[in-house]
């Protein structure tokens, strides 16, 4: 079957194909293959993948990573991207192929690009059009490109059987959280991990219901000298942000199990920024 991938690959140009790419050395390659060290932790001087970078971001490190999205110019998309609570009227959405997205073989919403597709094949087309860029975290091989296929983690079947208020995806909230609001709506909150913009078919079925974000994983929107260097969640820069009037989420609970944090008891991340001993994640279960 490899000849098929070679044939398909001839008509495709991956945007990170020509870059100098290195595999990540800080996780078990057998569990998470093909991940690239495309993140640079300036605080620790380390090159690592997006999963391994999360522990550094969580503990206040300055992490640089490739953020490909441009300012949308659309107020609704900007509000959604800022992490504000957004209702999605899912029953009226159509897939990019033209049919209702629920009528396909695997109707799913991608938490990386925030678009609904009826099947993996339709989402592959979004990758080919660079609408979803999650694949840039992986080796620039055509066969990997086909296998990754976004981060399709909000399954239609999950919120059909969910109760009101129940979470309908258990993937990383750094990308997106989703809850069943009622029979025709799910509530979305977008995190700082953004690899695409919702298309018009999504936005016309969206309504923002929150004036100011309360989401702990929301992208920091501060434009100070420090915060404007790299994209990061609001809790990452609470000790370094230079904008005194910027209201940070200073009470995000710390869940670290190092000796310093255990002795402190319940506390927020800002309280252990300089003392926490967990500089890199040792448990793969919290990587994603």
Which carries the bigger pLDDT value, residue 283 or residue 226? 226
pLDDT tier, 252 (very low <50, low <70, confident <90, very high otherwise): low
* Residue 258 included in any domain: no
Give domain status of residue 135, yes or no.
yes
Q: Which residues contact 38 (CB under 8 A, 6 or more apart)?
A: 16, 21, 49, 50, 65, 66, 136, 137
Question: Is residue 173 situated within a structural domain?
Answer: yes
Alpha carbon separation from 212 to 127, 237, 245 (Å, rounded): 31, 19, 15
Q: Could you identify the residue written with the tokens 């923002």? A: 208
Instruction: With respect to residue 11, please indicate whether it lies within any of the assigned structural domains.
Output: no
User: 84 in a domain, yes or no?
Assistant: yes
- Tell me, what's the pLDDT at 271? 67
Residue 90: what pLDDT? Answer: 94
pLDDT higher than threshold 70 for residue 18: no
Where helices occur in 198-246 by DSSP H, the ranges are: 200-203
3-state secondary structure (DSSP) of residue 23: strand
Using CA atoms of 116, 118, 123, 124 in order, give the dihedral in degrees to the nearest 10.
180
What total number of domains does the chain contain? Answer: 1
- Residue 170 has, within 13 A of its CA and on its CB side, a CA count of 4
- Nearest-Å Rg of the Cα atoms of the chain is 19
pLDDT per residue as tens digits for the range 78-105: 999 999 999 999 999 999 999 999 999 9
Examine residue 29 and state whether it is found in any structural domain, yes or no: no
What is the mean predicted confidence (pLDDT) over 270-285?
49
Q: Give a yes or no: residue 161 inside a domain.
A: yes
pTM of the model: 0.80
Query: Which range marks the domain in which residue 107 is found?
Result: 75-208
The pLDDT score that the predictor gives to residue 177 is 95
Phi and psi angles of residue 58, each rounded to the nearest 5 degrees, phi first: -65, -25
């Amino acid at each position: 079957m490899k000849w098929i991938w070679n044939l398909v690959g001839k008509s495709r140009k991956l945007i990170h194909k020509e870059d100098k790419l290195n595999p990540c050395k800080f996780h078990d390659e057998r569990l998470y293959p093909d991940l690239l060290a495309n993140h640079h932790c300036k605080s620790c001087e380390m090159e690592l993948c997006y999963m391994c970078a999360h522990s550094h971001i969580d503990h206040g490190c300055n992490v640089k990573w490739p953020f490909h999205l441009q300012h949308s110019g659309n107020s609704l998309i900007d509000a959604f991207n800022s992490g504000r609570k957004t209702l999605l009227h899912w029953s009226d959405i159509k897939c990019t192929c033209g049919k209702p997205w629920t009528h396909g073989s695997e109707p799913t919403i991608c938490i990386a690009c925030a678009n609904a597709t009826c099947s993996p094949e339709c989402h592959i087309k979004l990758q080919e059009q660079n609408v979803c860029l999650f694949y840039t975290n992986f080796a620039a091989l055509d066969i990997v490109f086909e296998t990754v296929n976004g981060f399709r983690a909000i399954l239609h079947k999950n919120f059909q059987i969910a109760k009101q208020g129940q979470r309908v995806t258990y993937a990383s909230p750094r990308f997106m959280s989703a809850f069943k609001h009622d029979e025709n709506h799910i509530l979305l909150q977008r995190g700082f991990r953004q690899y695409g913009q919702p298309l018009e078919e999504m936005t016309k079925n969206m309504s923002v219901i929150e004036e100011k974000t309360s989401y702990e994983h929301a992208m920091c929107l501060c434009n100070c000298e420090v915060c404007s260097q790299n994209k990061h969640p609001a809790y990452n820069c609470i000790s370094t942000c230079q904008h005194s009037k910027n209201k940070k989420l200073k009470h995000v609970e710390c869940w670290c199990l190092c000796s310093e944090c255990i002795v402190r008891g319940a506390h927020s991340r800002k309280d252990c920024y300089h003392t926490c001993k967990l500089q890199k994640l040792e448990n793969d279960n919290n990587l994603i």
